[in-house]
Structure 1
Amino acid sequence: MKPTHLDTVVSLSAPTVHPSGARCVVAATRPDFRADAPVGQLWEVPLDGGAAPRRLTRGFRDTAPRYSPDGRWLAFLRATPEGRPQLCLVEAQGGEPRVLTNRLLGVEQFAWSPEGNRIAFTSREPEAGRYGSMDGVGPRAEDPRLVTHLNYRVNGPGYTGDQRSQLFVLDLPNGNDEPFVSAKGRAKAAEAETPADERETGLPEARQLTTTAVDHSLPSFSSDGQWVYTVSQFDPADVDTLGSRVVRTAVDGGGSAPIELGTPDAASVRAVREAADGSGLFVLASTLGESGTDFVGWSTHMFWHDFEAGSTVRVSDPDDDFGEAPAALRVGADGRALAIGRRRGTARLVAFAPGGGREVLVGDDRVVTGADSAGGAVVLAFADATTPGELAAVREGAPERLTDFAAPLREAAAPLVPREFTGKSADGTPVHGWLVLPQGTGPFPVLLNIHGGPFAQYTGAWFDEAQVYAGAGYAVLMCNPRGAAGYGEDHGRAIKGRMGSVDLEDVLGFVDSALAEFPELDRERLGVMGGSYGGYLTAWTIAHDHRFRAAIVERGFLDPVSFIGSSDIGWFFPGEYTGWDVEAMQSQSPMAFVDNVTTPTLVVHSEEDWRCPIEQAQRYYTALRLRGVETELLVFPGENHELSRAGTPHHRKQRFEHILRWWSRHLPTEANPAPAEG
């Protein structure tokens, strides 16, 4: 794969299955160089093996499809090139969509009521005079912000106190209504005399149900349609509370109240759905330890909250972790909750019955990204070694593939299938991971790619980073060292208070094991790279081991001390991982050991990264330059921490081109030759 092939990479939403079980709809999105933005539409996919999938909508970017409970309507989000996503409605068989909202900051998430007569949604409500809510007042002319608490901004959305995500509900309009026509001529002149808030818009009234100074997310209705559940923060001024909770809001405007789960094991709620029979709640949540701030390495579990008993019990397997895609939690027509659990480099589809009972529906080498069930059909979106996204139906206990969205990508560049293997750390601990080899016989220069998190995981699924680097002639090593997710809580918490210890031993042990096992690898030509925590461990590695010819430190967590207060999560993140003592922080800080670095290093960062602020990169780059280390600083304007995954297509392509340029200088290959002198 080459950087220019990025526009052939199709990503899929979670599917929505028609109540009949005969078909489903999914959003297929890809980066587009012409638009320099992600584009995509909704596709209808038959489940009977008959007709081919068909494009159902033709918007600029149509996402998040959901059938109404009776199957007559399909709601989705549509974004224009200039605008935010708005809630839209179209007949399930297709037709002209009707726009239901005109929210200044767009619609984030939505849910159907069980009767299909209402839709609840969340949307950021801007403070007056901000975010374009007042003509002539741009971002530079807004009033100053007075900050009085520590949780006041987040990577991506930005400042949060003046644009809280609130809950709204609207009644479904009559589908046979005549289309709204905007006033012109005399009618427009007459309308100008009517107060703005009384003018006809053609949009159904959206009633705001919450006004609190916290964000609400992931709305879902109760089984009787009288309540809407959301996941909500605690008071942002409460510095000792990191968790989130279940909030229930009355549709009739009767107010909101939290649901007390009654167990510290579920202190941080990730998602909630009421059972179809109204007997209780399915809740994805994790503990925050005895302190209430200890988030490190705890798995997200499935809990069952029984209304009658008032009790909350964990019903998931101790080794499962449902923190990868909590928003994908669904309750199917059979009453079971579908959740995605990561385990040992996979993401499995697991079904839970009310009150308990668990069944793994898909547990092989696929990585499930979303699922739905209705009419006896279970459909999932997945990635595997050959595709970044397809649909499959679960039949006779096994997934049967329904689509081939990866065909254009495959025509551009045949996928290079990862080889799974387990290496060994210095203390004998197994280190699980993958090797992606280029075409040819080798020996190939080796790139150790370290993932972020650290409580995240690599999988054996198709990965654009590995495909691009292997396509340029590099053998790519990826592993899940201690600190990663998917291998149990002991594994995830192993680096608490000792970052850069066993995790460093694990990645180096994985490299040594690979060099011993695979003769195709060139042990004399090694490079190391990583982003976020991967940037941390890359910087830490080159300060303590000098075998690598060059390195790339991207969006790195490089100084725990300055991270506190500068990062959107910085006030608690460093201390919980390194310990709060300044000396302990310094002993685990790459900046404190930068004088040991001799490895040529490319530092990559985004200007609007609030997760790992750009000062981390600027100071690290400056320190390297001042001590004479060969280094460059590559800065992307207008991008945040998600550049490599969700940046503009041109920036993503340019990022790959600069990375390959750096490797061509220090580890040239036939496919990525050294630059010509002069």
Structure 2
Amino acid sequence: MKPEHLPLLNSVSAPTVHPDGTRAVVSVVHPDFDADTYVGQLWSISRNPERLPRRLTRGFRDTSPAFSPDGRVLAFLRTSSEGKFQLHVVDAAGGEPQVITNAKLGVSYFAWAPDSHRIVFAARTPEEGRYGTVDGVSSAAEDARLITDYKYRMNGVGYTADKPLQLFLVHVPDLDDEPKVVRSGRAAQKRNVATDSADQHASKDSPDVPEDETVPPARQLTSAPVDHESATFSSDGATIFFVAALHEGSDGDLATGIYSLAVAGVQEPVPVLSVDGPRQAIHTVRQSRDGKWLFYLAQDLGTSGLDFVARNTAMYVIPSGGGDPTCMSDVENMDLDTGGGLLELQGDDSALVLNNAQGTVELLEFGATGNNALLVHGDRVVVGAGSGGGSIFVTFGDSATAGDVAILEAGQLRLLTDFSARLRTEAGIIEPRELTFSSQDGHPVHGWLVMPPGKGPHPVLLNIHGGPFAQYTVGVFDEAQVYAEAGYAVLMCNPRGSAGYGQAHGRSIKGKMGTVDMQDVLAFLDGALEKFQELDSTELGIMGGSYGGYLTAWTISQDHRFKAAIVERGFLDPVSFVGSSDIGWFFGGEYTGPAPEEMAAQSPMATISAVRTPTLVIHSEEDLRCPVEQGQRYFTALKQQGVEAAFLIFPGENHELSRSGTPHHRKQRFEHILRWWAKYLPVKA
């Protein structure tokens, strides 16, 4: 795979399954160099092997499909090249989609009511005068912000306190009705006069008057100045459950609670599971189809409400009528947080979830009263699953596909799509080799080698993942494929501190970053060099992003065998991180400890004087997770002590550049990285 092959990487969403179980719909999105963004549409996938997958919509970017419970309507999010995501609906049999929201900053997510006539959706709701709500007031001309809380920014979102995520209710129009049109001429003049007259008498806070008559009115349900997440209807449609931090002192911890809100009338949220008991970060909540149980996914946070380090996400259930939560999963060894927080209902009283498991992601089913099952496992990464009509459709990736859809039959997956066919035939995919080596203290270190074609000897790149509570997986990894195509042997492992191997494995670096984790990655490197003669032990490079940038910078201050290094979006100075990162007020203190001497003992900036390795520092200007000052200060210090260094900085990008940055910048990043390695680690073949 080469940088120009990025558009062949299809990202396939979790499936929504028609209630009759005969088909599913997914979104398929990929980078596009011409648009310099991500484009894609919805695809219909039949369980009948004689019916090929077909493109269902033709929007610029259509995502998040969801069938109505009666199966008659398909809802999804659509955006134009320069617009915001808005909620659309279309007849499930096909037709012209109809937009039903006009949220100023776009719709973030939505959920159907059981009656198939209503939808709850979440949208960031800006303060008046900000984010283009007043014509002629640009971002630079907005009023000053007075900050009094820790939580006021988020990477990829920016300021959050002045645009909290609120919940809205919209009634889905009859799709057989004649569409409304925009008024013009005399009709528009009459409408404006009537509106001006009404505004003089109506409350300025009335939420039901739409600015655009072509969309149905949406009623705002929440107003607290916090994000309201994971909204879903109760099984009878009378209540909405959601997750939020509405408790007193919420600015000083990471805890969230579950709340219910009666749909009829104007009601205040009622705590279902507050933070008065054990402190938890709750991710997702759903009521069982029979209405008897409430499932939720959560992490324990200790008594402080901040002890998040390597806390596995677990599955809990509580009776809908009240009672204490029961943990359904093995908290020590199962981690059900896979980013998307899948919690899909299955049957009357069970749910589907995903589990990080030693470089793979499994699909599991938990029943409210037991009957748990491991449905999909092995060398694959399950992205999502959907259930309906007795069918379970699964989206997954593995070493040969970036994303495809299969149906689960008799415990086996039957493949229904091949969205990575062009990736394999045009770009080529190199199969990774799974390896395990012993660290110095005997601890097993699990990972993979992506070997380039040819006899070698091949220069070697030691890659370190971010997190640190994350994992490399068996799935297609574009970075490893690009570097291997260029002639480099790529090593990547999951050292202590990583997810997927149990909480003890993840928490082993709490208060001692740069100890056993560095020991593990170097042991993995040494093990591979000893095992494979094709690897050139004299031509070594090291690289990583975020936490991987941290461990790269830390390692080159202590091990000088590497010809060059790349430190990307790194956590490089725990001291300045506290006041500059969106998570700085708690992250560093929980990982390194808050005392100055503890920070210094684990800080790459404190040991930078020992670095002699030529280093490329990569950062994004809008990175709020590891702010650009981390990279700036590290690069400057290297230059001041005479180390060969370069600083590559990307405008308009944030912490997610390598994964979801603009296609142009992602390609350019690869090109700069390959030029850096070509300079210091030239490929001899």
For normalisation by structure 1, the TM-score amounts to: 0.97
The answer to whether the Cα contact below 8 Å between 2:359 and 2:474 also exists between their aligned partners in 1 is yes
The answer to whether the Cα contact below 8 Å between 2:290 and 2:348 also exists between their aligned partners in 1 is no
Alignment of 1:590-669 (within 5 A): 590-669=604-683
Partners of 1:92 and 1:296 lie apart in 2 by: 44
Q: Does 1:101 align with 2:113?
A: no
Secondary structure (helix, strand or coil) at the match of 1:194 reads helix
The superposition leaves residues 208-245 of structure 1 with CA deviations (integer Å, 9 ceiling, x where unpaired) of 00000110112111111111112212459644321122
Which residue in the other structure is 1:306 paired with?
A: 319
Secondary structure (helix, strand or coil) at the match of 1:327 reads coil
**Equivalent residue letter for 1:425:** S
Q: Does 1:284 align with 2:302?
A: no
Partners of 1:131 and 1:649 lie apart in 2 by: 25
The answer to whether the Cα contact below 8 Å between 2:45 and 2:54 also exists between their aligned partners in 1 is yes
The superposition leaves residues 277-334 of structure 1 with CA deviations (integer Å, 9 ceiling, x where unpaired) of 1112111001112322111011000011123450101111241101113432111345
Q: Does 1:571 align with 2:585?
A: yes
**Equivalent residue letter for 2:239:** W
Give the alignment partner of residue 536 of structure 1, picking from 536, 550, 561: 550
The superposition leaves residues 564-590 of structure 1 with CA deviations (integer Å, 9 ceiling, x where unpaired) of 021000011001001111111011000
The answer to whether the Cα contact below 8 Å between 2:90 and 2:97 also exists between their aligned partners in 1 is yes
- For structure 1, list consecutive stretches of 5 or more residues without a partner in the other structure: 672-678
The answer to whether the Cα contact below 8 Å between 2:460 and 2:490 also exists between their aligned partners in 1 is yes
Change (3 A) 1:507 1:264: farther
Change (3 A) 1:185 1:238: closer
Partners of 1:243 and 1:192 lie apart in 2 by: 47
Partners of 2:571 and 2:297 lie apart in 1 by: 28
Change (3 A) 1:535 1:664: same
RMSD: 1.5
Partners of 1:265 and 1:490 lie apart in 2 by: 20
Partners of 2:219 and 2:527 lie apart in 1 by: 60
Give the alignment partner of residue 474 of structure 1, picking from 460, 485, 488: 488
Partners of 1:438 and 1:596 lie apart in 2 by: 33
Secondary structure (helix, strand or coil) at the match of 2:474 reads coil
Secondary structure (helix, strand or coil) at the match of 2:193 reads coil
**Equivalent residue letter for 1:225:** G
Secondary structure (helix, strand or coil) at the match of 2:524 reads helix
Which residue in the other structure is 2:401 paired with?
A: 387
Change (3 A) 1:234 1:567: farther
**Equivalent residue letter for 1:298:** R
Change (3 A) 1:199 1:128: closer
Q: Give the C-alpha shift of residue 164 in structure 1.
A: 0.3
The answer to whether the Cα contact below 8 Å between 2:293 and 2:349 also exists between their aligned partners in 1 is no
Secondary structure (helix, strand or coil) at the match of 2:557 reads helix
Partners of 1:12 and 1:484 lie apart in 2 by: 25
Change (3 A) 1:397 1:265: farther
Which residue in the other structure is 1:517 paired with?
A: 531
Give the alignment partner of residue 310 of structure 2, picking from 297, 302, 323: 297
The answer to whether the Cα contact below 8 Å between 2:299 and 2:311 also exists between their aligned partners in 1 is yes
Partners of 2:631 and 2:168 lie apart in 1 by: 40
**Equivalent residue letter for 1:513:** G
Greater mean deviation of Cα atoms: 282-291 or 83-92: 282-291
Q: Does 1:240 align with 2:249?
A: no
The answer to whether the Cα contact below 8 Å between 1:264 and 1:288 also exists between their aligned partners in 2 is no
The answer to whether the Cα contact below 8 Å between 1:214 and 1:236 also exists between their aligned partners in 2 is no
Secondary structure (helix, strand or coil) at the match of 2:149 reads coil
The answer to whether the Cα contact below 8 Å between 1:262 and 1:311 also exists between their aligned partners in 2 is no
Alignment of 1:292-441 (within 5 A): 292-308=305-321, 310-318=323-331, 319-441=333-455
Which residue in the other structure is 2:28 paired with?
A: 28
Which residue in the other structure is 1:78 paired with?
A: 78
Which residue in the other structure is 1:227 paired with?
A: 239
Partners of 1:236 and 1:81 lie apart in 2 by: 41
Secondary structure (helix, strand or coil) at the match of 2:187 reads helix
The answer to whether the Cα contact below 8 Å between 2:396 and 2:403 also exists between their aligned partners in 1 is yes
Greater mean deviation of Cα atoms: 46-55 or 306-315: 306-315
Partners of 2:340 and 2:514 lie apart in 1 by: 29
How many residues align? The count is 671
Secondary structure (helix, strand or coil) at the match of 2:631 reads helix
Partners of 1:393 and 1:336 lie apart in 2 by: 19
- For structure 2, list consecutive stretches of 5 or more residues without a partner in the other structure: 197-208
**Equivalent residue letter for 1:129:** G
Which residue in the other structure is 1:201 paired with?
A: 213
The answer to whether the Cα contact below 8 Å between 1:452 and 1:535 also exists between their aligned partners in 2 is yes
Q: Give the C-alpha shift of residue 335 in structure 1.
A: 3.7
